Amino acid sequence: MVPLLLVAVVLLGAYVLLTQTLFKRAKCKGNAAMSGKTVIITGGNTGIGKATALHLARKGARVILACRNRNKAAAAIAEIETQTGSTDVIYVHLDLASLKSVRSFAETFLKTESRLDLLINNAGLVADGRTEDGYGIEFGVNHLGHFLLTNLLLERMKKTGGGRVITLSSMAHRWGHIDFNALVANKDLGTGRYSWQFFHAYCNSKLCNVLFTHELAERLKGTDVTCYSVHPGVVRTELSRNVGLWQKIFIQPVAWLLFLDPEMGAQTTLHCALQEGIEPLSGKYFSCCEAQEVSAHARDDKVALKLWEVSEKLCGLG
């Protein structure tokens, strides 16, 4: 009886510790007005993106779901309309694994929309494979597609004034590394058919997100557009839909017990979208609705600049 009691106490203690650290929850308290404002959310048809879209639609924003799957987008829009009463949520096709699709999306948006107040680079994946342009799928979707999209829309954001670019990264960026020689030679930051291999590539892509935001903030100085990178928490989403069966068998029970639901996972994104007065923190990394320090390799000016310049070349910009 006593050993069982000790085990129970240890398990309870571990649960409490995990929910206050790795799986900590936070609530967005920002309440900036959104009526009349336009928002783009990549991957806005599911998970964190959909939860973010629902909240912003409820506040009166015009929300554009930029994603691949029309049917999922239609289902998400119907759900958002039912819950919020909004009739200003639309779908525009965007495949971040195709630079041609990114350019097409931006061209359509710039022709049809007069303003852009929030660009939320939300979409991401953990998978192996290649993009339409031959890049590693994680580097291509998680970083390069968003890099191009942001650059194509920046002038409209500057014209609108007061806009924010929010890019979802992850605490996984801590384990990332950027090998520029390998990137140029292989067009990826890691690949392989085993889950641990493409998880490492995922970490590298999430480091790209933080460095991209760091350099973008430098380039936005002198404007009233700001940018932030976000760790949403460890969230139950479709992010890991491409991992192997045995990983899913292990992950899913833990996920249901500890992981945040998408609504809680959206809170730090919403904080960066709605909290007034955070403009001096442009370029910073946020977690649990507050700015967090990152390690030296995630705020290295030279690496951030080189990543920007290499990304420009890969996208055909400049």
Q: Which of the residues are catalytic? A: 202
Q: Are strands 118-121 and 89-93 parallel, antiparallel or unpaired?
A: unpaired
Q: Is 26 left (phi over 0), alpha (psi -120 to 50) or beta?
A: beta
Distance between CA atoms of 265 and 57, rounded to whole angstroms? 17
Q: Are strands 290-292 and 285-287 parallel, antiparallel or unpaired?
A: antiparallel
CA-wise closest residue to 210 among 266, 263, 147, 156:
147
Phi, psi of 298 (to 5 degrees): -95, 0
Q: Is 85 left (phi over 0), alpha (psi -120 to 50) or beta?
A: left
Q: Are 182 and 135 in contact (CB under 8 A)?
A: no
Q: Cα–Cα distances in Å, from 169 out to 53, 197, 205?
A: 18, 19, 8
What end-to-end distance do the CA atoms of the chain give, in Å?
A: 70
Distance between CA atoms of 259 and 46, rounded to whole angstroms? 16
| 85-89: Cβ within 8 A, 24+ apart | 86/57, 86/58, 86/60, 88/57, 88/60, 88/61, 88/62, 88/63, 89/53, 89/57, 89/62, 89/63, 89/64, 89/65
